[in-house]
Structure 1
Amino acid sequence: MPSGLDRLLALPRFADDPAGAYRPGLDRVRALLGAMGDPHRAAPVVHVGGTNGKGSTASFVAAIATASGRRVGLLTSPTLLHPAEMARVDGVPQVEAFGAAADRWMEEAAAVGSSFFEAAVALAFVVFSQAEVDLAVVEVGLGGVEDATAVVDPAVTIVTSVGLDHTDVLGATRPEIARVKAGIAAPGVPFLHAVEGAETVAALEEEARRRGGVPERVRETVRLATEAEGLVIETERQSYGPVALGLPGAHQAWNAALAVRAVESLGLGVAGEAVERGLRDVVALAGLRGRSEAWVGDPRLVLDVAHNADGLRAALAAVAVPPGGRLHVLLGMMADKAIAEVADALRGVRIQTVPLDTPRALSAAALAARLRSAGLGDVTEAGGVADAIGAFREAAGAADRLLVTGSHRTVAEALRAFEDGAV
């Protein structure tokens, strides 16, 4: 008889079957959580949405709370190596507890017609409840208003950014997408955001207020300064830092500011030292992978799960290429991405395209052809992620850098190749 984990992995997943996996509405997940005893109500929740930056911001919030001595559950997605990455407690995936919860509840999940994501979200809340976490930090999967995570009664809500991604289901313009993402707003609850663009901000805040949320644009309420020792974050309550953020890239500054304001808004009385430690040690404290992650033992390789034009621009900017070096990009992407905008973000770098093991992805040849048709000339095709990394390590100079990116799947295949000793 298949295990609960096997049954979970057999359910429709968005990365492989968007039409089968993306079924808006909360009835199924509410029914499953109800059968479980509503574990999503066991602890206060910080709910984090946005096009880019939501995983990093959620991790900053969780790391700060962990640094303050609290027990923290963190739910982010997609996963890289194991579904239990969606149920981390103090940064550690709860593999055994997640598997046991799947064994116990997958029959009920199947009975209500859950997708993979809906079932995994519910199982994560079971794990958090059993672990008696003091706080749960929950990243939106897709959109906001009808995402499976929207069953929570949040204490704080966050929208990091609004960009053009998943336009086939969320809307064709940034203001349209903003209204969907503002769907996580809750009556009387702080609604923090760092969104840019006057029309997009107006749409986001109008929808948040309509739902009773209390909008705060941190770009207007928080002052940032960069000093030699790191970032200084000054809120109306306190000044933090300077601190060297544990995630590279200028774009992480506002993600960190959102996290700080979220912790302040929770009223937990977290000391400045804990805030600074959480921002500095976020990778260890939150168990974060694939955000400008330098390959172990080989700083020439960097892994980043950026999967749209805005995310790729930020990922590229975060890679420090020494004098005399050249930046190479190993790129695998899904077919629903705006490749013309991606091409614009990638101008000036050497690109190798790779196939990904999912029917939703573009083949290496198709991706390369679309990049070339968008005006990029330095594009070649590789047979696979492991082969391409191996070839780079043999041929590249010490100052060259390889950014492995374009999808969670691209990064996951690189990590698996490393674990298997293939590279």
Structure 2
Amino acid sequence: MDELLGLPRFAGREGAAFKPGLGRIRALLGAMDDPQQQFRSAHVAGSHGKGTTSALVAAVGSAAGRRTGLHTSPHLFAVNERMRIDGAPASNDWLAGAVRRHRDLFERVGPSFFEATVALSLLYFAEKQAAAAVVEVGLGGRLDATNILQPAACAVTSVRLEHTALLGSTLAEVAREKAGIFKKGVPAVVGADVPPEALAALRDIAGETRAPLHRVGEETTLHRVGQDEAGLRLDLQTPLRRYRGLRVPLYGRHQAGNAAAAARFAELFWSDARSSAQPVRDGFAGVRRLAGLRGRFEVLGRRPLVVADVAHHPDALAATLRARADHFPRQQGRLVVAFGLMRDKDAAACAKLLAEAEAEVWPVALESGRALPPDALADVLRERGIARGPAGTAEAHRQRFLAEADPDDVLLVCGSHRVVAGACDT
């Protein structure tokens, strides 16, 4: 699969990888006989929460007995994780064979890595006869390769200033790019975590495209959010019903908002979820297995507590630190954070949060030209007076922690997908 891995990637060479427009993905899929037309699809955009929301909606379909595809990015361990059916990734043999079959096509069209993986995901879902697929937007929405879809439902989970050189310098501009996935007559779910300026832009695009807008903040109510060591237990009201004691094995108050958005989205997309509460209950409870969800406050051990989370920006790190305190209040021993970042992330803001949490930070060395070197990270931590351990790999830090930790101690492994992959078993 060297041909696939050698294509331009946003994570590696941004200028070469970001190729706005749908011409290349249209050419790829046209040559593949338009596989995206062979199943129903749901399309999910957002600054935060889109991956979790996508996984929850897909899990509802799987729980209802529908063969459900799920495309997300980036991956943790291997590229075939981006294309999953009922939580299981495409086999290495299928992916290698598909790349060989379409080598000439890739050379002729010249797609980015992301465009190629989107095409392969849609081809996989069609060839494996998925009944439906939930597809997460890569970046933005309007010009993202996934916008080739004609979905039955779509969503924008949240809007924040991000990738401003590509999406715009105001919340309204970013929101308009994300709302580029709205389609005429297709229900559009908007998460509760959307600022007024962005919401106004989303409303405008929904009106222009005549897409029925469903605001999670208006159509759902969280009457109760319980947090314990197993995750969340919600009391959620939607226009269809009240879900009492809805178990979601995810951590953090922010995930309750994602669950509310996913429940409403599932009701609009899945007929099974409209006729019965059970697919939502079973799908949410089994989301990690049914959707193959990894690296979201993934508990790797309990006493001592070891958690891996792909949080890589200040908002996400703050949410993860809060989740640790809220869900495991009795584990008040030493907090160690095995931490590594990419150069383009806000290391200073993350360091401030780690200092406030009184964490001891062990820098993670990553084999990537994009990574912030451990000595540079150590300098940022030193400015905040944070206790530091020696640099090492995520797995080495995990083993060292387990060898010396007390039962009430906590290890949080976070900062990037690569850091988390280094500490998790495949």
TM, length-normalised to structure 1: 0.91
In the alignment, structure 1 residue 182 sits paired with structure 2 residue 187: no
Checking the alignment, whether the CA contact within 8 Å between 1:15 and 1:358 is kept in structure 2 is no
**Structure 1 runs of 4+ off > 6 angstroms?**
none
Residue correspondence of structure 1 range 28-47 to structure 2 within 5 A: 28-47=24-43
Deviation (angstroms), 1:183: 1.6
Residue correspondence of structure 1 range 80-91 to structure 2 within 5 A: 80-91=76-87
Checking the alignment, whether the CA contact within 8 Å between 1:304 and 1:411 is kept in structure 2 is yes
5+ long unaligned stretches in structure 1: none
Label 1:65 to 1:19 Cα distance change in 2 as closer, same or farther (>3 A).
same
CA distance in 2, matches of 1:289, 1:106: 30
CA distance in 2, matches of 1:336, 1:86: 23
Checking the alignment, whether the CA contact within 8 Å between 1:368 and 1:380 is kept in structure 2 is no
Aligned match for 1:325, one of 333, 348, 366: 333
Residue correspondence of structure 1 range 257-336 to structure 2 within 5 A: 257-266=260-269, 268-270=271-273, 271-295=276-300, 300-319=305-324, 320=328, 322-336=330-344
- In structure 1, give the amino acid aligned to 2:344: D
* Residue in 2 that maps onto 1:232: 235
Secondary structure (helix, strand or coil) at the match of 1:160 reads: strand
5+ long unaligned stretches in structure 2: 227-231
Deviation (angstroms), 1:12: 1.9
Q: Which is further off, 290-299 or 115-124? A: 290-299
- In structure 1, give the amino acid aligned to 2:364: V
Deviation (angstroms), 1:225: 2.0
1:27-82 CA-partner distances (Å, limit 9, x unpaired) = 11111111001111211111111111111110000101111111100001101111
Structure 1 vs Structure 2 CA RMSD: 2.1
Secondary structure (helix, strand or coil) at the match of 2:253 reads: coil
1:130-182 CA-partner distances (Å, limit 9, x unpaired) = 11111110011111111111111111111111223333433334333222222
Aligned match for 2:360, one of 328, 350, 353: 350
Checking the alignment, whether the CA contact within 8 Å between 2:301 and 2:307 is kept in structure 1 is no
* Residue in 2 that maps onto 1:18: 14
CA distance in 2, matches of 1:117, 1:299: 38
Aligned match for 1:200, one of 174, 189, 198: 198
* Residue in 1 that maps onto 2:229: none
CA distance in 1, matches of 2:47, 2:423: 24
* Residue in 1 that maps onto 2:169: 172
Q: Which is further off, 304-313 or 315-324? A: 315-324
Deviation (angstroms), 1:299: 5.7
Label 1:324 to 1:236 Cα distance change in 2 as closer, same or farther (>3 A).
closer
Aligned match for 2:373, one of 342, 363, 370: 363
CA distance in 2, matches of 1:316, 1:28: 41
CA distance in 1, matches of 2:35, 2:363: 43
Checking the alignment, whether the CA contact within 8 Å between 1:87 and 1:98 is kept in structure 2 is no
CA distance in 2, matches of 1:222, 1:213: 19
* Residue in 1 that maps onto 2:420: 411
CA distance in 2, matches of 1:122, 1:328: 41
CA distance in 2, matches of 1:208, 1:355: 45
Checking the alignment, whether the CA contact within 8 Å between 2:304 and 2:407 is kept in structure 1 is no
Checking the alignment, whether the CA contact within 8 Å between 1:368 and 1:381 is kept in structure 2 is no
- In structure 2, give the amino acid aligned to 1:214: P
Paired residues in the alignment total 412
CA distance in 1, matches of 2:175, 2:308: 28
- In structure 1, give the amino acid aligned to 2:347: I
Label 1:14 to 1:381 Cα distance change in 2 as closer, same or farther (>3 A).
farther
TM, length-normalised to structure 2: 0.91
- In structure 1, give the amino acid aligned to 2:348: A
Residue correspondence of structure 1 range 72-221 to structure 2 within 5 A: 72-95=68-91, 96-194=93-191, 195-221=193-219
Secondary structure (helix, strand or coil) at the match of 1:225 reads: strand
* Residue in 2 that maps onto 1:55: 51
